[in-house]
Amino acid sequence: MLQLSYPIIVNSPQVNHLTAEQLWTGLLLRVMEPMRFTVGLDRADVAQIDDETFERVLYFGGHEISDEVKLVHAHSVLFTTVANAHAPQGRLRYEIQNHAEQGLVLLCEYQTEFPEPDSDEARQLLEMVKNAYRMADEEMLRIIREESLLARH
């Protein structure tokens, strides 16, 4: 099983600052409009079940990924994918945190049912997957910053 957790400091002198509210709005945008955030995604069907739950079907070419999204208002988003023939079950959780020293932080937590690596090649592949997750989360923050700037103008 792949378990990965890391914080991303949201505001630094080199980037446009986001408030916790702007970050939350951006995370909701990621839920509702996943094509803006996911490379290779051709189409997405998003259904709102209630104030806190969404069900989505994501289409990547001929492959479909179903997931459920649970919201804790202005605090966290939990994506849980359903395992299928092409992808294992997985969970991604984003949590908005405020730290005294670091300021606004986005905690990213992944759990995916990947098999344990049994070779150097498999370990390298797993490290590449971990790096891809981190890069995708940093890219998501870049998009959220852009959207926040557009909303202000």
What confidence tens digit (pLDDT) does each residue in 45-87 have? Answer: 999 999 999 999 999 998 999 999 999 999 999 999 999 887 8
Sheet of 43-50: strands edge to edge?
A: 2-9, 103-112, 90-99, 76-81, 63-72, 53-60, 43-50
How many beta carbons lie within 10 A of that of residue 110, not counting itself?
19
Residue with more model confidence, 114 or 109: 109
pTM metric for this prediction? 0.92
Mean pLDDT of the chain: 93
Q: What number is the average pLDDT over the span 17-45? A: 95
N- to C-terminal Cα separation, the chain: 44
Q: Which of 133, 84, 65, 74 is closest to 104 using CA atoms?
A: 74
Per-residue pLDDT band at 153 (split at 50, 70, 90): low
**Rounded Cα gap, residues 129 and 51, in angstroms:** 32
